[in-house]
Structure 1
Amino acid sequence: MSIGGMIDGGGPAPEQEERGRRRRGLRALVYGLIALLVLVLLAAAGVVIVTQQLGSQVGRYPSVFAPIDPSTRPSDAAGQTFLLMGTDTRSPEATTGTDAAPDAVFGSQRSDVIMVASIAEDGQSASIVSIPRDSWVDVPGHGRNKINAAYAFGGPPLLIQTVEQVSRVHIDHFAVIDFAGFAQMTDAVGGIDVNVGQASERDGVVVPAGEQHLNGEQALVYVRDRENLPGGDLDRVRRQQAALRAFLQQALSSGTLSDPARAYTLVDTVTRHVGVDDSLSNTGLAQLAFGMRDLRNSNVSFLTVPVSGTGMEGDQSVVYLDEGAGRDLWFAVNTDTVPEWVAARPQEQLSDTPR
């Protein structure tokens, strides 16, 4: 062998050739890993761009918790709890989100839908508890009144304070949508399937009794009606829950979320019509969605806070809450034990055919 590592005939030594192959293999592996890393980073950048784009469409309500004295608030619990509020302006124009009508006045109307949505810490289960809008409660600084008056009196801060006082459940976030937005969201998932207990009609739009596939316009008639229902606002609350349940089921089971284009359209529609408190950042929204990736519609409990009856306060028709039974339910919400609470009281769960 010569000093240059060549054997007779000028070829490289076998061990040198082996080392060369190993170096080339190592370089190829390194280059492959770098290329893979670049692709991952590009994909991540795309997700970030989409997250920022869609998240930025969500309307933000500033400082909704700031006016509330922290010492008056319930202790924070595991999981995430939202106060969901819906408004009905009887207008086809949106009043919430980035598509809001220019003349929409924040906090100018009473809330028609009040729900406390709680997501368990493990993201495997959730509960949605409706509070009838006519519930007769103490509104801080305003005495006894219907709970939906709190929003008109003091916007989100007073409504949050009132709900926390009633439930002793710590509200982490606030979200609001108007009924015009709900109609468009319904159309975005291709309509919803609801078993209608009693027919409804409004402005020429008919929702027949029985199993129905409702578009956005029909869904609005379904969730707005109370005059034609025996239980009045209590029946309407159940219809609102049924519509929300059907919306979730349609989104989860129709392939909407597994189809990137349809999922984008749905999220784009939702983000244009909702508003949340400004403590929920775009990243926070993405993390919340990721944390709920394993949640199934069958693991969401739809409930109404227990009531003891209805009556009159002056010229107002009101709903009286059952404080004892309510404490048991709210305790279950605070301790992530709603599935157990429902198992012991199956009659409290939303039926398959609410009126």
Structure 2
Amino acid sequence: MEEKRTGRKRSKKRWLKITLAVIGVLVLGIGLYVWSIYGNARDTVNEQMHEQVDSIDRDKTKEKVEATEPLNVLLLGVDQREDDSGRSDALMVMSLDPKDDSMQLVSIPRDTRTMIAGRGTEDKINHAYAFGGSDMAVETVESFLDVELDYFVRLNMEGLEELVDKLGTITVDNEIAWDDGKYDFGVGPVEMDGDKTMAYVRMRKQDPEGDFGRTERQRKVIQGIIEQGASVGSVTKINDYIDVLGTNMTTNMDFDDMKDLFNGYRNTRKDIASYQMQGSGTKIDGTYYLMVPDEEVQKVHDMINKG
């Protein structure tokens, strides 16, 4: 009898050791996988996506982040193909305020006439990127609105379709109905994959608001990507998103900056407001420009600075 009890004890101990060994292997495997994701993200951001610009004081921005002060981020949507510097098709200032967990997206119409920083001539604001890249675009927007930008993010619009597809779909609240022959866009919530998203943001001819309406749809898509990206729970997809962003996105943030923003500013997406600068169209020497009055510039300046 004693031998049977001893045998059972040994059997239990053996199975306990096997169970612990399996758990240990699983924990180690999960740990290695998480570390590989972390390492891939860090290397992709720091080696492929990071671009420092002289027009932004990095040390000052870091002080703001450490104190969780409001931040302003310039978003540049660029139609850029191979061997082409591209022009900024979309310009938005995204303001993050962690004190009241709010985010504000202000669109600057691409035809807005303003002084281009470093050139001493007036031109369409979206030409700043074509003339001098991200640095000139940042300086021009800062000068135009008399605001301080802390980061910039440049997204190649050609990669937008792939990004949305990796997310699965995004949903926007569509305000006007139209049919482009391929897709039927009804009023209300519209779920879109990447190809449908591109059709949504590029339509202008059927929109009574023209380029203003297009800019509004671009804001809605950015908001949809933010909301969907924050809600995706599958860790197995993270590397896919990183790979897409690595070939289509550029920013002056490094990996540590992104971690700090996630920790201190992630709840700002809970309350998103948007606005588009207003002006009147005119032609100068045969070229169309949007003339934004000083009162409108001051209004947007105050919105961004909570003045």
Specify the TM-score bucket, using the shorter chain as the normaliser: 0.7 to 0.9
Aligned pairs (5 A) from 1:290-329: 290-297=263-270, 299-305=271-277, 307-329=278-300
With normalisation by structure 2, the TM-score equals 0.76
1:113 aligned residue = 90
If each structure's helix is expressed as a fraction of its own residues, which one has the higher value? 2
With normalisation by structure 1, the TM-score equals 0.66
Distance 1:207 1:292, change over 3 A: farther
- Rounded Cα–Cα distance in structure 2 between residues aligned with 1:180 and 1:83: 19
Give 5+ residue unaligned stretches, structure 1: 1-38, 71-75, 90-94, 96-102, 338-355
For these two proteins, the number of residue pairs brought into alignment is 267
Equivalent residue of 1:249, what SS? helix
Question: Alpha-carbon deviation of 1:183?
Answer: 0.9
1:82 aligned residue = 73
Distance 1:173 1:123, change over 3 A: farther
Flag the structure with larger Rg. Answer: 1
- Rounded Cα–Cα distance in structure 2 between residues aligned with 1:50 and 1:111: 29
Question: Alpha-carbon deviation of 1:323?
Answer: 2.1
Aligned pairs (5 A) from 1:1-355: 46=35, 49-56=39-46, 58-62=48-52, 64-65=53-54, 78-89=69-80, 103-105=82-84, 108-122=85-99, 124-140=101-117, 141-196=119-174, 197-201=176-180, 205-210=182-187, 211-252=189-230, 255-256=231-232, 258-277=233-252, 280-297=253-270, 299-305=271-277, 307-335=278-306
Equivalent residue of 1:295, what SS? helix
- Rounded Cα–Cα distance in structure 2 between residues aligned with 1:192 and 1:241: 13
Question: Alpha-carbon deviation of 1:267?
Answer: 4.3
- Rounded Cα–Cα distance in structure 1 between residues aligned with 2:83 and 2:97: 34
Structure 2 contact 40–239 (Cα < 8 Å) conserved: no
Question: Alpha-carbon deviation of 1:326?
Answer: 2.8
Structure 1 contact 58–276 (Cα < 8 Å) conserved: no
Give 5+ residue unaligned stretches, structure 2: 1-27, 58-62
- Report the AA paired with residue 216 of structure 2: R
The answer to which of 164-173 and 140-149 deviates more is 140-149
Flag as ranges the 4+ runs of structure 1 deviating above 4 A. none
- Rounded Cα–Cα distance in structure 2 between residues aligned with 1:288 and 1:166: 26
Question: Alpha-carbon deviation of 1:215?
Answer: 0.9
Question: Alpha-carbon deviation of 1:228?
Answer: 2.6
2:8 aligned residue = none
- Rounded Cα–Cα distance in structure 2 between residues aligned with 1:206 and 1:265: 27
Equivalent residue of 2:172, what SS? strand
Distance 1:119 1:246, change over 3 A: same
Equivalent residue of 1:61, what SS? coil
> Per-residue displacement from partner, 1:155-192 (whole Å, max 9, x unpaired)?
22221111011111111122111112111111122112
Structure 1 contact 192–246 (Cα < 8 Å) conserved: yes
Question: Alpha-carbon deviation of 1:49?
Answer: 2.7
- Rounded Cα–Cα distance in structure 1 between residues aligned with 2:194 and 2:269: 23
Structure 2 contact 162–194 (Cα < 8 Å) conserved: yes
Question: Alpha-carbon deviation of 1:50?
Answer: 4.9
- Rounded Cα–Cα distance in structure 1 between residues aligned with 2:245 and 2:217: 20
Question: Alpha-carbon deviation of 1:131?
Answer: 0.2
Equivalent residue of 1:294, what SS? helix
Structure 2 contact 98–265 (Cα < 8 Å) conserved: no
- Rounded Cα–Cα distance in structure 1 between residues aligned with 2:47 and 2:179: 34
Question: Alpha-carbon deviation of 1:249?
Answer: 2.6
Structure 2 contact 41–239 (Cα < 8 Å) conserved: no
Equivalent residue of 2:87, what SS? coil
Structure 1 contact 146–318 (Cα < 8 Å) conserved: yes
Taking every aligned residue pair, what percent have the same amino acid on both sides?
Answer: 23
- Report the AA paired with residue 87 of structure 2: R
- Rounded Cα–Cα distance in structure 1 between residues aligned with 2:228 and 2:262: 17
